[in-house]
A = this chain, B = another copy of it.
Amino acid sequence: MAATTSPTSFLLQNPHTHHVKSSISTSHFNTLPLPSPSPKRISISCVASTTTSVGIQNPSSSQNPSDDRVFNFAAGPATLPETVLRKAESELFNWRGSGMSVMEMSHRGKDFTSIIQKAESDLRSLLDIPSDYAVLFLQGGATTQFAAIPLNLCKPDDTVDYVVTGSWSDKAFKEAQKYCKPKVIWSGKSEKYTKIPAFEDLEQSPNAKYMHICANETIHGVEFKNYPNPKSLLVADMSSNFCSKPVDISKFGIIYAGAQKNVGPSGVTIVIIRKDLIGGAQEITPVMLDYKIHHENSSLYNTPPCYGIYMCGLVFEDLLAQGGLREVEKKNKKKAEILYEAINQSNGFYRCPVEPSVRSLMNVPFTLEKAELEGEFVKEAAKEKMVQLKGHRSVGGMRASIYNAMPLAGVEKLVAFMKEFQGRHA
């Protein structure tokens, strides 16, 4: 794609934006910056203030264009589909004639039972989860699973293998040290977590109980494109690419994910576990970390995070309505492609440190050649209603998280802004 020469013309050149309206949110428009003293500065405020959904992500979202909505590139909690939010809004006070909000329902009543069962059933359809796998809706984030996994799968002297591709797999490894003998069999730390190892190079420990990976590192933006096939079991933290593409569940012993990236609000953790792995928890396992308890009680041992599960259910419905995860993956690939392309074609003005073959479709970290401009980039983008672009505090730079619910229009707008910004500062 050619670099945009006129900062006001990119929309005309872009085949994906023909539905974009020029409506402007006056409440935000007032906060736009005054014309820059730079002679190169040409405001793209009118174009960039359009946040109308182009309906690519979700066919029905264009029915309620929301001019005051921002494009939210946060790494999680993250943007949710507009149609899901509108549905939740319409049902918040009185869920489908029940006379109450989902937040008020007994978790053991028939209404909530129907909600959690439908959520599980739709998730099973989306991921084609085999019947010998249990689906658990839990609390506490992936971080709780960092302890639960070794507590449930290991005795204290058991060896387990960790592939450390970024901050999250490193945290998982450290927590496991409390409960078994974990070994880092590969670490990308010396290369600043920009790579995924070649599987044939992994030296598995003899008798390791499992191999743990983080399928997508939210902070560093590296993503497994396929999966190792360990002699033991494969266990994966999929928090930040869960339901972003099809996955062959049968390759895994356990997949776990916080919901707050691709499938719902924070406060829900989903665990998909092969049933024969359930039941061997160490005696010191807190009851709330024991998979057996949750499996036997269909995730209702104690009160689950009901509203969050309901929201996940709405997202699952939306993903199915889009045609399932193959269609979702196509959209995610398209979004990531235009963003990485913009970086690649910037002549080094923008840089992504990650090895091209393992760049994440979900989290795109990048820096500026002129690092001193990064603050200005983030600030100006925010004024153009593209928010949460600052990189994680541990790595700096920028990061655009473009999960399922980020519309293509959001990425296109970001790419246009990047080119315009480069035009002014190159």
Binding site for B on A (CB under 8 A): 27-28, 51, 66, 68-70, 72, 74-80, 85-86, 88-89, 92-94, 97-101, 103-107, 109, 139-144, 146-148, 151, 175, 178-179, 258, 260, 264-268, 283-289, 301-308, 311, 385, 387-388
Q: Across the interface, do A266 and B303 meet the contact criterion of CB distance under 8 Å? A: yes
Assembled-state Cα–Cα distance A320/B144 (Å): 34
Q: Across the interface, do B94 and A69 meet the contact criterion of CB distance under 8 Å? A: yes
Q: Across the interface, do B388 and A106 meet the contact criterion of CB distance under 8 Å? A: yes
Q: Across the interface, do A288 and B141 meet the contact criterion of CB distance under 8 Å? A: yes
Residues of B within 8 A of A72 (CB): 99-100, 104
Assembled-state Cα–Cα distance A265/B98 (Å): 17
Assembled-state Cα–Cα distance A308/B287 (Å): 23
Q: Which of B86, B106, B258, B286 contacts A74 (CB 8 A)?
A: B106
Residues of B within 8 A of A109 (CB): 74, 388
Say whether, besides A86-B93, A143-B301, A303-B258, A103 and B265 are in contact (CB < 8 Å). Answer: yes
Say whether, besides A143-B302, A287-B175, A104 and B88 are in contact (CB < 8 Å). Answer: no
Which of chain B's residues has its CB closest to A92's CB?
B89
Residues of B within 8 A of A284 (CB): 178-179, 284
The 3 closest A-B pairs by CB, nearest first: A267-B305, A70-B99, A147-B286
Q: Across the interface, do B139 and A141 meet the contact criterion of CB distance under 8 Å? A: yes
Which of chain B's residues has its CB closest to A179's CB?
B284
Assembled-state Cα–Cα distance A208/B25 (Å): 63
Residues of B within 8 A of A288 (CB): 140-141, 143-144, 147
Closest-CB distance, A75 to chain B (whole angstroms): 7
Assembled-state Cα–Cα distance A304/B266 (Å): 7
Assembled-state Cα–Cα distance A144/B151 (Å): 15
Assembled-state Cα–Cα distance A260/B306 (Å): 10
Q: Across the interface, do A89 and B85 meet the contact criterion of CB distance under 8 Å? A: no
Q: Across the interface, do B287 and A147 meet the contact criterion of CB distance under 8 Å? A: yes
Q: Which of B92, B104, B142, B387 contacts A79 (CB 8 A)?
A: B104
Q: Across the interface, do A306 and B266 meet the contact criterion of CB distance under 8 Å? A: yes
Residues of B within 8 A of A77 (CB): 103-107, 303, 306
Q: Across the interface, do A92 and B99 meet the contact criterion of CB distance under 8 Å? A: no
Which of chain B's residues has its CB closest to A71's CB?
B99
Q: Which of B265, B285, B286 contacts A306 (CB 8 A)?
A: B265
Assembled-state Cα–Cα distance A141/B103 (Å): 15
Which of chain B's residues has its CB closest to A108's CB?
B393
Q: Across the interface, do A97 and B74 meet the contact criterion of CB distance under 8 Å? A: no
Residues of B within 8 A of A148 (CB): 286
Residues of B within 8 A of A88 (CB): 92
